[in-house]
Amino acid sequence: MGSSSRYLRATAGAMVLFVLLVGGGLLYAASGGGSRDILITQMLINTIIVLGLQLFIGNTGILSFGHTAFGTFAGYTVAVLTMPVSRKMAQIPDAPFGVAGVRLHPLVATGIGVLVALAVGVLVGLALTRSGAKSGAVAATIITLALLFVVHEVSLNWTDLTDGGGGLGFIPRLRGRFWIYLTLALALVATRLFAETRVGRWNKAAREDDVAAGAVGINLVPPQTIALLASVVVIAIGASLRVQSLGSMTPVFFYFDYTLLTLAMLIVGGRKGVTGAVLGVVVITAGNEFTRYLAGGDVNVPGLGWLLRPNLSLLFLGGAMLLFMLMRPEGIIPSGEVDQLASRFRRRVEDDPAPEQPPAEPADGAAVDGPALVVADVGVQFGGFRALAGVDMTARPGEIVGLIGPNGAGKTTLLNIITGVVEPTAGTVRLGDRDLTDLPPYEIARAGLARTFQNLRLFGGLPVRENVAVAAMAGEKYRGDRPRIDVDVLVAMAGLWSQRHRPASDLDYGSQRRLELARAAAMSPTLLLLDEPTSGMSDEESAVMIGHVRDTAARLKAGVIVIDHDLHFITNVCDRIYVLDHGRIIAEGTPGEIQRDPLVIEAYLGTQALP
Amino acid sequence: MSAPELEVRSLTTRYGAIRALRDASLTVGVGEVVFLIGPNGAGKTTLLNTVIGLLRPTSGQVLVRGEDVTGSSPDSMITRGVALVPEHRRIFADLTVKENLMVAGITVDAATRERRLAEMVELFPLFEKKWTTSAGYLSGGEAQQLAIARALMSDPEILLMDEPSLGLAPTLVDLVFELLGSLREQGRTMLIVEQNAQRALEIADRAYVLRSGEIIDQGTGAELRERTDLVSAYFGSQDT
Amino acid sequence: MTDIIQQLIDGLGRGSGYALLALGLAIIFGVMHLVNFAHGEVITVSAYLGYWLSIHGTSWWLIALAALGASTLTAVIIEFVAFRRVRGAEDFTMLLTSFGVAIVVRAGFSMWVSTKPRQFDKPGWIFNTVKVFGISLEVYDLIVIGVTAVTLAAVAYLLRRTMFGVSLRAAAEDFDAARLMGIRANRVISGAFALSGLLAGVAAVMILMRRGQAEPGMGLDILLPGVLAAVIGGLGSLSGAVLGGFALGLAEVMVRAWILPEGFTGLTDGVVFALIAILFIFRPEGFIRVGHAERV
């Protein structure tokens, strides 16, 4: 599917959600009194804030307790800048920056509020990304929690600006819901579109597996920072609306209770999608109101008096969050969006045919070009243990090179050094003229080295096709001059066409290995590095894999380095083989030479020659 | 006939969607030394981890002296006299040598533990000097001896070992095999995963060959050594 | 000079509570990779028990003893009821589970015990001051620092010299390998929670003596500096957690005394947070790196 139709569909989905939410809300409000009107206004504003949370938490997988604190910054900015000067002179005459004497239009004030929140967002973003923020990163979560508490403390104590706990009032009220509808519609479209942009999809890939994301050329920092700043903008605007709709601002407006409320909405609905987030807003709003009503003293259920007490809604919010974590941690809608329903249904009736796979061009020497990989005198030491020493190795373009050796010989360590996951203590790794030795994994991937992992590192929660597509986007961006294979063709080649919409983690072992190869190939690499591509496969599956590796390399005009214990596989597929034992290269040669080399047989089967 | 010391019946273990071990069956008699050989990814480690209870099988049974212990936790396996020396040794690098051994003696009473600690120093003299050294500073060979000593702290009748010679220099491999020989003389029943098939088959009573999660061959050490298909199990047929 | 020493003592006093909480958090993080946001609720439970005993005229010695017991028991019960079910789950799930437990406990207190803070008598003598070499010190600070030093020494002894402590360290380093040694997963995790609860109990007694108050929402407020200390120290490192606690206490006192102008002391937390954020930018792994590298 082209990206424009992808965006179009996402926008349509966002509009459907808008109509359902606003329409449902208006119907509900029309059927009751003015209090329902206020409730719906607050629900719509809460939706904007929850969308801001979803944008960051859902896409990056980093749990943040502190995002509502950005609302405090925007909220106070808007409050201070829009209050009548006379009120300010009474409440906060000594406010810094001379703001006591200024009064701005709400739109301008909102703009400044966004900028203030963004400025804080940049500092927080720096701390987050530096603390190794990745999906589920605990330190990042705690930084955000601290932000929430600290901003509350400061807003309570900086009385010159905030007038302390009593808060600021007389903020001009919003009339009508025009700005709320507009912002909500834009926020829905923006969050839904963000998930479909390259940055959004890279965030989701990194959320599923940060190491694998690096291996397909994704640097986590820019996508995460963009997601953070975008979410700050959405929340800041939402906060401005909330303050204007209530007409006042206090230190607790965007503090603990509000964080709990909005977070419960996101978590219960399903944090990974916009549809889930919106559903969560509705479910939690309804539940919250219902429990308040129950505990309000107007209801009298015999035998339940002990439960129907004030603060029941706090129990509801905490309990809902806890129960979902214990029973259904991904929320009501774990994945998928409303706009994907139609195509999901259509697929059930009739699937598209798999794309034609153009025949591979013969890998004649002339067609193959590109730099050679040269590993020179590489060594690494872990503590006192010398895992590799003096390793020299070359992989020329178009060549299939095998790397074998008994378990523990250092093969994967060598691969990790080449791809930048492990830093060598000695030696260099070069690709043509380029020194790769000290580059981070994503730079090495962009330079043209694509790898697979011994223990399989797929983007498990993402669909099969998306696993290949995120790598292809990186391939297109960073390796546009190399031969490429279309994403759909790669999926079909891997024999996964009929399963392309299923989560990658659902696949069986052999399919996951083939998918990893397809993902690596989508990078348009100069060199494919495969770590045990047939491990755990049956003989038939291995045989298929042999053809598959050859075919893929030929189409990409890429070289291959393949590690395997399956010598049957290695001798069938490789032009040249290196044998590693105890961290040193003990032999190099053609498969025939290696099979007869007594040193190799000894390394594998023991010290004595075979009968 | 009495039940074998250890029996595995049609064991299948999955990791998520991945079936790492399929329908594997084997027996180990009292005092027997049985090896599991085969290429990496064949499911050998999965088999041992399932027997000891770190992994739960999807189907099949594990029996110790005829008693069904499928799905028991590792600690209850140890009280039944089964211990595992895990792959990569997994010694506690932040703990001293003594503490590593102490932890391994958690299932026995304090007096027995003290006695066994003394026995280990006798059996592995190098520990004496390194007694209060963090285990992270041990060399590969020393660490492997510590890993085996830990398993011996519970004085198991059945000893499972996962690649005891992994990553060791040839002279240290000799040392490990010497140690296996002396353990066998003590009459311990052993099931050992080993890459070094040639060495393994020299001292094995029997061996099983695993490939792609299935047991494809079995026999006495001598029988398997005679068979040429062992070479092709590792190297593939020579004529390709 | 006396000023510096006075600030130092003040900082150590503040840091003591943080260090005890951070140590408890680090112990739990070590064995099950969980940041226990419900750790502060253990203190809430102790506080209400203390309040109840206090209005019934119980002496402070007995209140302290009861608080220790209640904290330990509560920590173990929370693990049994909630955390056992998410053992080995994703970090995201575990974080929100502990957060959810904290909210539910808070809701329970505010529904069935009291919404308003409950005051009770503090032991008056702890606010006396004594003069040592011309420096006037509050008895309270001396008690806090002394008790914390003894507690930390006892924990160090426990971890180094007892079977339980050594198994705990083994489990924190490699849980599966510890199970292979015969350590029972449930037992060692329960033990870790009991120990962390006991440490929180010591902190709770110190906090109660000073505050003389129980309220439903106190848990997370009190816990936060402890969590920050654990992260500053290097999450999972026990000595790092203690170090982080004292560093945080000292930083607060120093920012208040020497950096902020008079009248702006309310912004102390803000400045300290900015310092922590800057620390993370330059030293992302905290003071002490806990590296059991992920296998790729």
Residues 6+ apart with CB under 8 A from A166: A250
Judge residue A316's burial from the number of C-beta atoms within 10 Å of its C-beta, 0-12 exposed, 13-18 middle, 19 or more buried. Answer: buried
User: Residue B83 pairs with which residues in a beta bridge?
Assistant: B159
Closest approach of B236 to chain A, Cα-based (Å): 4
Residue C270: what pLDDT?
A: 84
- C296 domain residue, yes or no: no
Closest residue in chain B to residue C292, using alpha carbons only: B93
**pLDDT band at residue A357, thresholds of 50, 70 and 90?**
confident
3-class SS string, B93-121: CCCEHHHHHHHHCCCCCHHHHHHHHHHHH
**pLDDT band at residue A200, thresholds of 50, 70 and 90?**
very high
Question: CB of A455 within 8 Å of any CB in chain B?
Answer: no
Asked whether residue C135 carries a pLDDT value surpassing 90, the answer given is no
State the number of CA atoms in the 13 A half-sphere of C293 facing the CB: 10
Indicate the pairing of strand A400-404 with strand A559-563. parallel
Q: Do C183 and B103 touch (CB under 8 A)?
A: yes
Distance, CA of B207 to CA of A360 (rounded, Å): 44
What integer is the mean pLDDT of B35-54?
88
Q: Do B92 and C163 touch (CB under 8 A)?
A: no
**pLDDT band at residue A361, thresholds of 50, 70 and 90?**
low
Question: CB of B103 within 8 Å of any CB in chain C?
Answer: yes
pLDDT, one tens digit per residue, over A561-603 is: 999 876 777 888 899 999 998 889 999 999 988 888 888 877 7
Task: Identify the H or E element spanning C201.
Answer: helix C185-211
Question: CB of C275 within 8 Å of any CB in chain A?
Answer: no
Residue C195: what pLDDT?
A: 97
State the number of CA atoms in the 13 A half-sphere of C66 facing the CB: 17
Query: How high is the mean pLDDT of chain C?
Result: 90
Which DSSP string do the residues of B36-94 spell out, in sequence order? EE--TTSSHHHHHHHHHTSS--SEEEEEETTEE-TT--HHHHHHTTEEEE-TT----TT
Distance, CA of A195 to CA of C18 (rounded, Å): 40
Lowest mean pLDDT among A190-199, A426-435, B229-238: B229-238
Residue A359: what pLDDT?
A: 63
Phi, psi of B111 (to 5 degrees): -65, -45
Lowest mean pLDDT among A9-13, A362-366, C232-236, C257-261: A362-366
Closest approach of A215 to chain C, Cα-based (Å): 11
**A residues 506-545 lying closer than 8 A (beta carbon) to B:** 506-509, 512, 532, 534-539
**B residues 79-138 lying closer than 8 A (beta carbon) to A:** 136-137
Residue C295: what pLDDT?
A: 54
Q: Do B75 and C170 touch (CB under 8 A)?
A: no
What integer is the mean pLDDT of A193-219?
95
Picking from C176, C181, C185, the nearest residue to B103 by CB comes out as C181
**pLDDT band at residue B228, thresholds of 50, 70 and 90?**
low
Residue A407: what pLDDT?
A: 74
- C17 domain residue, yes or no: yes
Overall number of domains in chain C: 1
Distance, CA of C35 to CA of C29 (rounded, Å): 6
Question: CB of C110 within 8 Å of any CB in chain A?
Answer: yes
**pLDDT band at residue A366, thresholds of 50, 70 and 90?**
very low
Closest residue in chain C to residue B100, using alpha carbons only: C170
Mutate one of B80, B99, B100, B161 to test the C interface: name it (highest C CB count within 10 A). B99
pLDDT, one tens digit per residue, over C66-77 is: 999 999 999 999
Asked whether residue B208 carries a pLDDT value surpassing 60, the answer given is yes
Q: Do A384 and B236 touch (CB under 8 A)?
A: no
Residue B55: what pLDDT?
A: 92
- C135 domain residue, yes or no: yes
Residue A365: what pLDDT?
A: 47
Place of tokens 């330059």: C282
- C226 domain residue, yes or no: yes
Question: CB of A578 within 8 Å of any CB in chain B?
Answer: no
Q: Do A314 and C107 touch (CB under 8 A)?
A: yes
Closest approach of B112 to chain C, Cα-based (Å): 14
pLDDT, one tens digit per residue, over B130-151 is: 999 999 888 888 899 999 999 9
Residue A609: what pLDDT?
A: 39
Asked whether residue A611 carries a pLDDT value surpassing 50, the answer given is no
pLDDT, one tens digit per residue, over A95-104 is: 888 888 889 9
What integer is the mean pLDDT of C114-127?
82
- Alpha-carbon B240 to chain mean position: 35
Residue A437: what pLDDT?
A: 93
Question: CB of B145 within 8 Å of any CB in chain C?
Answer: no
C227 near C35, Cβ under 8 Å?
Answer: yes
pLDDT, one tens digit per residue, over C180-195 is: 999 999 999 999 999 9
Distance, CA of A25 to CA of C200 (rounded, Å): 47
Q: Do C35 and A329 touch (CB under 8 A)?
A: no
Residue B135: what pLDDT?
A: 92
- Neighbour count for residue B109 (Cβ, 10 Å): 9
Contact residues, chain B, for C182 at CB < 8 Å: 74-75, 78-79, 104, 106-107, 154
Q: Do B195 and A569 touch (CB under 8 A)?
A: no
Chains that touch A (3 or more CB pairs under 8 A): B, C
Closest residue in chain B to residue A541, using alpha carbons only: B212
Residue A136: what pLDDT?
A: 57
Helix ranges (H only) for A296-399 are 312-327, 341-349
For residue A81 the two structure tokens come to 């800048």
Please name which of A200, A206, A241 lies closest in space to residue A45, comparing C-alpha atoms.
A241
Asked whether residue A400 carries a pLDDT value surpassing 50, the answer given is yes
pLDDT, one tens digit per residue, over A513-566 is: 999 999 999 999 999 999 988 876 777 788 888 888 988 998 998 999 999 876
Q: Do A156 and C227 touch (CB under 8 A)?
A: no
Question: CB of B116 within 8 Å of any CB in chain C?
Answer: no
Residue A306: what pLDDT?
A: 83
Judge residue A169's burial from the number of C-beta atoms within 10 Å of its C-beta, 0-12 exposed, 13-18 middle, 19 or more buried. Answer: middle
Q: Do B212 and A605 touch (CB under 8 A)?
A: no
Closest residue in chain C to residue B85, using alpha carbons only: C180
**pLDDT band at residue A27, thresholds of 50, 70 and 90?**
very high
Please name which of A299, A130, A88, A216 lies closest in space to residue A516, comparing C-alpha atoms.
A216
Asked whether residue A256 carries a pLDDT value surpassing 60, the answer given is yes
pLDDT, one tens digit per residue, over C51-102 is: 999 889 888 899 999 999 999 999 999 999 999 999 988 889 999 999 999 9
Question: CB of B216 within 8 Å of any CB in chain C?
Answer: no
Which of the two residues, C11 and B222, has the higher pLDDT score?
Answer: C11
Question: CB of A157 within 8 Å of any CB in chain C?
Answer: yes
Asked whether residue C296 carries a pLDDT value surpassing 60, the answer given is no
Residue A367: what pLDDT?
A: 52
- C125 domain residue, yes or no: yes
Residue A528: what pLDDT?
A: 95
Query: How high is the mean pLDDT of chain A?
Result: 90
pLDDT, one tens digit per residue, over B114-125 is: 999 999 999 999
Kindly state the percentage of chain A with pLDDT values over 70.
Answer: 95
Question: CB of B90 within 8 Å of any CB in chain C?
Answer: yes
Residue B18: what pLDDT?
A: 65
- A226-240, A395-409, B44-58, range with greatest mean pLDDT: A226-240
Which of the two residues, A378 and A386, has the higher pLDDT score?
Answer: A378
- The CATH number linked to C21 is 1.10.3470
Asked whether residue B232 carries a pLDDT value surpassing 60, the answer given is no
Closest residue in chain C to residue A129, using alpha carbons only: C281
Q: Do C104 and A315 touch (CB under 8 A)?
A: yes
Question: CB of B20 within 8 Å of any CB in chain C?
Answer: no
**pLDDT band at residue A397, thresholds of 50, 70 and 90?**
confident
Closest residue in chain A to residue C110, using alpha carbons only: A311
pLDDT, one tens digit per residue, over A140-163 is: 888 899 899 989 989 999 988 999
Closest approach of B108 to chain A, Cα-based (Å): 33
Residue B88: what pLDDT?
A: 86
Distances (CA, A) of C92 to A62, A264, A498, C98, C277: 8, 14, 32, 10, 22
Domain carrying residue C170: 2-282
Contact residues, chain A, for C270 at CB < 8 Å: 150-151, 153-154
C204 near C67, Cβ under 8 Å?
Answer: yes
Residue B10: what pLDDT?
A: 94
Question: CB of A146 within 8 Å of any CB in chain C?
Answer: yes
**A residues 460-519 lying closer than 8 A (beta carbon) to C:** none
Picking from B20, B169, B199, the nearest residue to A607 by CB comes out as B199
Q: Which long-range contacts (CB under 8 A, 24 or more apart) does A132-135 make?
A: A132/C284, A132/C285, A133/A60, A133/A62, A133/A220, A133/A224, A134/A61, A134/A62, A134/A206, A134/A210, A134/A220, A135/A60, A135/A61, A135/A62, A135/A206, A135/A207, A135/A208, A135/A210, A135/C91, A135/C92
ipTM associated with this complex: 0.91
pLDDT, one tens digit per residue, over A449-493 is: 999 998 889 999 999 999 999 999 999 999 988 888 999 999 999
Picking from C167, C184, C185, the nearest residue to B103 by CB comes out as C167
What integer is the mean pLDDT of A294-305?
82
Question: CB of C73 within 8 Å of any CB in chain A?
Answer: no
The domains of chain B, with CATH numbers, are 6-93+156-235 (3.40.50.300)
Distances (CA, A) of B240 to A364, A567, B97: 22, 12, 50
Contact residues, chain A, for C80 at CB < 8 Å: none
Residue A114: what pLDDT?
A: 98
C233 near C243, Cβ under 8 Å?
Answer: yes
Picking from A408, A507, A537, the nearest residue to B212 by CB comes out as A537
B136 near B60, Cβ under 8 Å?
Answer: no
The domains of chain A, with CATH numbers, are 3-253 (no CATH), 368-605 (3.40.50.300)
Q: In whole angstroms, how large is the CA radius of gyration of chain B?
A: 18
Mutate one of A381, A382, A509 to test the B interface: name it (highest B CB count within 10 A). A509
- Neighbour count for residue A607 (Cβ, 10 Å): 13
Asked whether residue A384 carries a pLDDT value surpassing 90, the answer given is no
Q: Do C176 and B102 touch (CB under 8 A)?
A: no
Question: CB of C295 within 8 Å of any CB in chain A?
Answer: yes
Phi, psi of B36 (to 5 degrees): -115, 120
Q: Do A571 and B232 touch (CB under 8 A)?
A: no
Mutate one of A382, A407, A412, A567 to test the B interface: name it (highest B CB count within 10 A). A407
Contact residues, chain A, for B19 at CB < 8 Å: 508-509
Asked whether residue C294 carries a pLDDT value surpassing 60, the answer given is no
Contact residues, chain C, for A262 at CB < 8 Å: none
What integer is the mean pLDDT of A289-311?
85
What integer is the mean pLDDT of A331-354?
82
The sign of the torsion formed by the CA atoms of A321, A323, A327, A332 equals negative
Residue A233: what pLDDT?
A: 98
- C23 domain residue, yes or no: yes
- C292 domain residue, yes or no: no
B153 near B101, Cβ under 8 Å?
Answer: yes
Contact residues, chain A, for B212 at CB < 8 Å: 536-539
Kindly state the percentage of chain A with pLDDT values over 90.
Answer: 65
Q: What secondary structure letter does DSSP report for A251?
A: T
What integer is the mean pLDDT of C98-125?
89
A485 near A556, Cβ under 8 Å?
Answer: yes
- C294 domain residue, yes or no: no
**pLDDT band at residue A31, thresholds of 50, 70 and 90?**
confident
Q: Do A567 and B39 touch (CB under 8 A)?
A: yes
